[in-house]
Structure 1
Amino acid sequence: MSEPVVRDNFSRGEAVAGLTWLSVGALVSVVLETVYLGWWSFLVALLFNVVLTKTARLWSPRPGVALIPLVAWLAGFAVALALLPPTAGLVALPLAGIAGGVWPLLRAK
């Protein structure tokens, strides 16, 4: 069985571009999760934010940098909360999003 190849010779510009695209993905995710709010949104927020944080860790080992997509997701959520009428589901959604975004960092320790 061969070992996975991890690319670590990328430029700072590539890392910034990667984190930018992850943040765009986070914003698209939060729009879909808030517009089509249902129980599936909680699962999607949890799992997709896990993926975003794990992928961000590939671009930087620093936990603060790895949380950039989660911060973008939370900013998008704050805008959605200001525009949409608050419901119990909408208010509880960030718990799933934050848990998913932070979990890979806690698990790595």
Structure 2
Amino acid sequence: MSKKKANARAARAGRTQDSHTGSGRDGRAGAQSQAPARDVSEPDWGNPAKSQVRRDTTRAERIAGLVWLTIGAIFCLFICVLYIGTRIGVGGTSIPFPWPIVFAALFNAALTKTALLWTPNQVIAAIPVTVWFLGFILIAALPTLPLGGDTLLPSTPWTILLLTAGLAGGAWPLRPRFPVDSPTVTK
């Protein structure tokens, strides 16, 4: 490691490096400070009960991240609506294969979990799944609108399962989490 990097690291740890002897301010070679420096940019890093919100970004970057996640939710809805009627042929029989139901649940869960990296506010983190839900309602109501056209979502149980799985997947990361501590036994 270069002396410049070593001095920068040592300065962050609260000590200086002697350029001739390689020892710290206290005279011991390679001495470390007593208490490790705490990284304040990620105060809850590693705690499974708390959201790990990024703190090293600007507000504009966080907004842009949420906008891209919302665009991803629209993409997810488009894929799900396009392929909800998928069927596979087994022998001479055509069997429904509604894989978009699982896709919607997993993709919306990933979107919400990622949104929780950008904001600690659960209402803001729910924006992508809310846009997915509003888009679903719009597509379902499209034939009844004045300028509506074709029916894009079939009137089948798969459509209800798609809505349920998409909302459940998006809401799962937002559920309240309680700290997991080992139980204490008192005598």
* Fold-level similarity (TM above 0.5): yes
1:100 to 165, 169, 177: 169
Moved more, 57-66 or 78-87: 78-87
Aligned to 1:45: 104
Q: Would you tell me which structure has more strand in proportion to its own residues? A: 2
2:140 to 73, 81, 92: 81
Q: In 1, Cα distance between the equivalents of 2:110 and 2:173? A: 9
RMSD: 1.9
Q: In 1, Cα distance between the equivalents of 2:177 and 2:124? A: 15
Larger radius of gyration: 2
Normalising by structure 2, we get a TM-score of 0.52
Aligned to 1:67: 126
Q: Would you tell me which structure has more helix in proportion to its own residues? A: 1
SS of match in other structure, 2:160: helix
Tell me how far 1:82 sits from its aligned partner. 2.2
Unaligned runs of 5+ in 2: 1-44, 47-52, 85-96, 143-151, 179-187
Kindly report structure 1 stretches of 4+ aligned residues shifted beyond 3 Å: none
Q: Deviations over 1:50-109 (max 9, x none)?
A: 100000000101110110000111122112212324332123211001110111111634
Aligned to 1:90: 159
> Relative contact order (C-alpha < 8 Å, sep 6+): which is higher?
1
Q: In 1, Cα distance between the equivalents of 2:68 and 2:128? A: 9
Q: How many residues align?
A: 106
SS of match in other structure, 1:39: coil
SS of match in other structure, 1:48: helix
* Contact 1:26/1:69 (8 A) holds in 2: yes
Moved more, 22-31 or 35-44: 35-44
Normalising by structure 1, we get a TM-score of 0.86
